A = this chain, B = another copy of it.
Amino acid sequence: MLENKNQSRTGIENLGEFGLIETLTKQVEINNDSTLLGIGDDAAIIHTKQPNVITTDMLVEGIHFDLSYVPLKHLGYKAIMVNLSDVYAMNAQASQVTVSIAVSNRFPLEALEELYQGIHLACKTYGVDLIGGDTTSSTSGLIISVTAIGHQEESKIVKRSGAHDGDLLVLTGDIGAAYMGLQILEREKAVFKANPNNQPDMEPYSYLLERQLKPEARKDIPLLLEQLDVVPTSMIDLSDGLSSEILHLSKNSDVGIKLYEEKIPLDPTVINVCEEFNLDSTTIALSGGEDYELLFTISQEDYPKIKANPNLTVIGHVVDKSFGNHLITRGGEQIEIKAMGWNSFQE
């Protein structure tokens, strides 16, 4: 019997824009009191007493993701995480998102439903309402544009610009894993191309793959800081790599930063896989990106409040601008920190 290859492949051109939006958003629930009106009008309506923070990020197929190894559900989840991470980096709580997608006709409805499963799961898990968006055709590939909205008391919103000489530099979680996860995926893609019957054992790399494919934004950190009664003096999220983010903090705060190599928190898997790939793990930590951890500075007097916390590691401190930005190696050398982050325009 011949297989029906069109099974469960519904052409989106027949649904139209409104039908498509209705199908993809029918399971949307509104859970925040601040959402007065969600999807279905010219605009959504929100109302919070506190100021709002607003951020937006775009993910482009072939630039930010490769559908040959990124499951669509994970992609939808990650598109939300990337944006929520920016909200948490303001020490705010996220409450709403809008999601716009441009997609070519080659994607059947079922593929978009998978993408939206990830979006809905992320919204539900993080207590965020999907309040709007746009759905349109593209001439090639998939583009996802998300805007996230959060809120916080004005005095507790943290910018990149408040770090002072003497402050401590603090990092959440560990870093480098997302980048090494990507290296594993790229390697296995190349192996698969050469031999499609190869069944790789991905088990040893599960932590790295999860960090790459299904990152979690640090919603818990603004809550933890509130509980510890700490308001950071500056904060940023790690999307492009530690060195690039340190330079942002230093530039925006007009200070210098000293980072200690021995303090950088790395998961043992990262160290092992770096050896396997013959890569220097500090370089990976500095330039890797996509970890979505938070990097912040606190005044020294707040140190006792955070020192016992397993989520937080002091990795350096703030110095006068004239000292510049340096990595202090395990051997005691000072190396100037330069931007090694990712540039999507370079090939």
Question: Residues on A close to B: CB < 8 A?
Answer: 12-13, 15-17, 20, 36-37, 40-47, 50-58, 60-64, 86-87, 89-90, 92, 96, 98, 100-102, 105, 131-134, 136-141, 143, 145, 147-150, 154, 157, 159-161, 235-237, 252, 343-347
12 contacts between A and B (CB under 8 A): A42-B90, A42-B160, A43-B53, A43-B92, A45-B52, A45-B154, A47-B51, A47-B52, A47-B154, A54-B132, A58-B102, A60-B139
B87, B100, B131, B148: the one contacting A57 at CB < 8 Å is B100
A151 to chain B, nearest CB (A): 10
Contact among B16, B90, B96, B131 with A43 in the assembled complex (CB-CB below 8 Å): B90
Q: B138–A60 contact, CB under 8 A?
A: yes
Q: Give the Cβ gap from A327 to chain B, nearest Cβ, in Å.
A: 21
A46 to B157, CA, bound (A): 11
Q: Do residues A139 and B141 form an inter-chain contact, with CB atoms below 8 A?
A: yes
**Cβ of A235: which chain B residues have Cβ within 8 Å of it?**
42
Partner of A86, one of B42, B52, B62, B89: B42
B346 close to A13 (CB less than 8 A): yes
Asked if B16 and A54 make an inter-chain contact with CB atoms under 8 angstroms apart, the answer reads no
Q: Is the CB of B133 within 8 A of A56?
A: yes
* Residue among A46, A60, A252 with max Cβ neighbours from chain B (10 Å): A60
Return the contact of A131 from the options B54, B154, B157 (Cβ within 8 A).
B54
Q: Chain B's nearest CB lies how many Å from the CB of A18?
A: 8
Q: How far is the CB of A234 from chain B (nearest CB, A)?
A: 10
Q: Which residue of B lies closest to A240 (CB)?
A: B17
A254 to B334, CA, bound (A): 70
Interchain CB contact (< 8 A) of A46 among B52, B237, B347 = B52
B52 close to A344 (CB less than 8 A): no
Seed contacts A17-B345, A138-B143; 14 additional CB < 8 Å A-B pairs: A15-B345, A41-B90, A41-B159, A41-B161, A42-B55, A42-B87, A42-B89, A42-B235, A43-B55, A46-B54, A56-B98, A56-B145, A100-B145, A143-B143
Q: Which residue of B lies closest to A139 (CB)?
A: B62
Bound together, the chains give a CA A153 to CA B170 distance in angstroms of 42
Residues of B near A43 (CB, < 8 A) are 53-55, 86-87, 89-90, 92, 148, 150
Question: Complex Cα distance A269/B209, Å?
Answer: 61
Closest 3 CB pairs of A and B: A43-B55, A47-B51, A145-B145
Cβ contacts under 8 Å, A46 to chain B: 51-52, 54
